[in-house]
């Protein structure tokens, strides 16, 4: 039995220590995914907490052949979408929240190299701004694939769409981002290729 399966089994019988392990393993990913979805640090904190409560209460519905991470992302996606439906967010508010939060998505910044940290933060802000020019679904597919590291079939299940639609949204998003980051004489940092799929 793998470590993840053991954790799920312990969660399913209400083990509090297993719940703490789950939160420790995924809290940053869930928080930063929610932040990228809703753009507000306080709301992202509330959403990430709600994700873990829903997971703990619904662990018996977890399919044992699925990945625990992809299941949590599905809960986070649905919870974030519900939040956005209740409280629409403008692109300007999203950008301000990202700049104020001092974070750049799921990546943790290396504290030992201030220059690299500043560069990474700047790139994160630029990517966040560029993502304002894509559709909500394109943005979500990009976040789940490149930050959440979900497979295409897991993204399809999370968003309740076909794998073909996932590929289409991902390609369109990457093309738009590549265009946004392209300028004369500079290599393109974001490439679209089947190898990433």
pLDDT number for residue 76: 92
Instruction: Delimit the CATH 1.10.1740.10 region(s) of the chain.
Output: 1-89
CA–CA distance from 76 to each of 45, 53, 196 (Å)?
11, 11, 23
State residue 136's pLDDT score. Answer: 85
CATH of 134-197, one of 3.30.420, 1.10.3470, 1.20.1070, 1.10.10: 1.10.10
Per-residue pLDDT of the chain (197 residues; tens, 9 = 90+): 478 888 888 888 888 898 999 999 999 999 988 888 888 899 999 999 999 999 988 888 887 777 888 889 989 998 988 888 776 444 444 444 444 434 444 344 344 455 555 555 555 666 677 777 788 889 889 888 877 888 899 899 889 899 999 999 988 888 887 777 664 444 444 444 444 44
Give the pLDDT confidence score for residue 48 in this predicted structure. Answer: 93
The domain defined by 1-89 carries CATH number 2.60.120.330: no
Number of H helices, E strands in the chain: 9, 0
109-159: per-residue pLDDT in tens? 344 455 555 555 555 666 677 777 788 889 889 888 877 888 899 899 889
Write 5-8 long-range contacts (CB < 8 A, 24+). Answer: 5/64, 7/68, 8/59, 8/62, 8/64, 8/68
Amino acid 60: pLDDT = 80
In this prediction, residue 51 carries a pLDDT of: 93
Q: Alpha-carbon distance 6 to 21, whole Å?
A: 12
Apex CA 176: angle with CA 145 and CA 168, to 5°? 50
pTM score: 0.65
Domain with CATH 1.10.10 in the chain: 134-197
């Amino acid at each position: 039995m793998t470590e993840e399966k053991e954790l799920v089994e312990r969660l399913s019988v209400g083990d509090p220590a297993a719940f703490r392990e789950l939160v420790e393993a995924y809290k940053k990913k869930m928080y930063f995914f929610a932040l990228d979805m809703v753009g507000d640090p306080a709301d992202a904190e509330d959403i990430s907490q709600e994700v873990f409560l829903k997971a703990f209460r619904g662990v018996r519905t977890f399919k044992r052949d699925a990945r625990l991470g992809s299941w949590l992302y599905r809960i986070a996606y649905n919870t974030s979408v519900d939040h956005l439906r209740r409280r629409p967010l403008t692109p300007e508010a999203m950008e301000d929240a990202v700049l104020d939060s001092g974070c750049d998505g799921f990546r943790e910044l290396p504290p030992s190299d201030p220059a690299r940290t500043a560069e990474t933060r700047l790139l994160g802000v630029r990517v966040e701004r560029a993502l304002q020019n894509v559709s909500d679904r394109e943005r979500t597919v990009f976040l789940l694939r490149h930050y959440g590291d979900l497979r295409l079939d897991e993204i399809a299940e999370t968003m309740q769409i076909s794998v073909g639609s996932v590929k289409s949204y991902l390609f369109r998003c990457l093309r738009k981002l590549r265009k946004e980051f392209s300028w004369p004489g500079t290599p393109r940092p974001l490439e679209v290729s089947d190898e990433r799929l």
